[in-house]
Amino acid sequence: MSENQSQQSPSSPWSARPYHRKWLLAQADGLFDFFSGSAINPKGGFYDLSRDGKPLVTDNPARGIHASARMVHCYAIGHLLGRPGSADIVDHGMRYLWERHRDEKHGGYFWQANDTGAADDTKQGYGHAFVLLAASSAKCAGHPLADTMLADITEVIDKKFWEESHGAIAEEFSSDWQPVPGYRGQNSNMHLTESLMAAFEATGERHYLIKAERLADLIINRRAREEAFRVAEHFDENWLVDRNYYHPNEMFRPAGTTPGHWLEWARLILQLWVLGGKSHDWMPEAARGLFFQSMVLGWDKDGGGFFYTLDWANAPEKRSKLWWPLCEGAAAAHFLNQHQESDFHEESYRKIWNYIAANNLDRDFGGWFEELTEDGKPSNSLFPGKGDIYHALQACLIPLFPADGSLTSMIAEHPLDV
């Protein structure tokens, strides 16, 4: 079926059906339960968890800043929903970000921290984007440190990372802010777009929204449009696509293209369109194109699920099936179905959730399998266990609220109806 074959859903959307909504909320509750106990490191921050929900490493493990910040964000969501105990987890994470990840000498935030301070003292755009998200979400949840952290991270991004000539951020610096040259990445800028929107919604300050619009224009309206709405991952310092880029860390910088990011951008672009007063006509078109390409090129038509990466001829390259593209696909399909209802978007939404239900839910131990082989068997070639609540939780909760903003703002503005 083509993207435009039908303009009406075959029946009422799943996201409007009481049973489906209750099922989604039950999945979200299961994720909160899985991570709220064993993930809490009493010495600060959070543990990465094994399949059975136990800490993978207990002796002074390094904590990645993205994981610390995402836990703050997710349990700020839990607090806004009214989940008991969530505020304590937000406080636990905020104190670790401020007391261990933050570099008191040079400013900014370390990529990894441990019990005493820096475990990896580089300053990376990806991590700083998530600190902005954590601070914005904590502000919505009323945490007393949120305003201080929000002012601090905003200044760091503005003064150290933001490149006004491009309308995007640089990727990486040393601890004392010496630039690591030769690379610009879309992934850090994509998550910064998400965080800038959250900061705009938390504060009402339009400079955040303006930066988000500039980022989206560069990466999607220009570069992705040039690639038929396939999102290039890797660029040089002038934001020209580097098709031959290789990095050994396939978790954060895989070669080729990553359909999961096309899906993530589809949702973010529609959210940005709404927050900007629906004034940018290119955004709905781009969201449709990104989602359509991901389903046509990235979805495994035989076994289901999204291939992790494609080469530049659109052939599957890394054939593992990860959980987060499925999560982003479900959320993007909901946003599209809310703003551009069609058979294609609704059927895609159902197809994605059907695959998740059949393959990703760990009914023995709880949580989700984060990595599957091409044929849908649990695997750990990239991810050692169950380290992240963020993608799955948002996938479960986004369809329960209007597709008009960040989860934190939608929860604050709209009562949950299941």
Q: Does residue 15 contact residue 31 with C-beta atoms inside 8 Å?
A: no
Angle ∠(361,365,369) on CA atoms, nearest 5: 35
Among the listed residues 79, 101, 191, 391, the single catalytic one is 391
Residues comprising the chain, all counted = 418
Among residues 150, 124, 145, 19, the alpha carbon closest in space to that of 65 is found at: 124
261 labelled catalytic: yes
Six-digit token pair at 245? 């880029």
Cα separation, 340 vs 337, in Å, equals 5
Per-residue HEC secondary structure of the chain comes to CCCCCCCCCCCCCHHHCHHHHHHHHHHHHHHHHHHHCCCECCCCCECCECCCCCECCCCCCCEEHHHHHHHHHHHHHHHHHCCCCHHHHHHHHHHHHHHHHECCCCCCECCEECCCCEEECCEEHHHHHHHHHHHHHHHHCCCCCHHHHHHHHHHHHHHHHEECCCCEECCEECCCCCECCCCEEHHHHHHHHHHHHHHHHHHCCHHHHHHHHHHHHHHHHHHHHHCCCCCECEECCCCCECCCCCCCCCCCCCCCECHHHHHHHHHHHHHHHHHCCCCCCHHHHHHHHHHHHHHHHHECCCCCCEEEEECCCCCEEEEEEEHHHHHHHHHHHHHHHHHCCCHHHHHHHHHHHHHHHHHCECCCCCCECCEECCCCCECCCCCCCECCCHHHHHHHHHHHCCCCCCHHHHHHHCCCCC
Among the listed residues 73, 261, 339, 345, the single catalytic one is 261
Cα separation, 152 vs 132, in Å, equals 9
Catalytic center residues: 261, 391
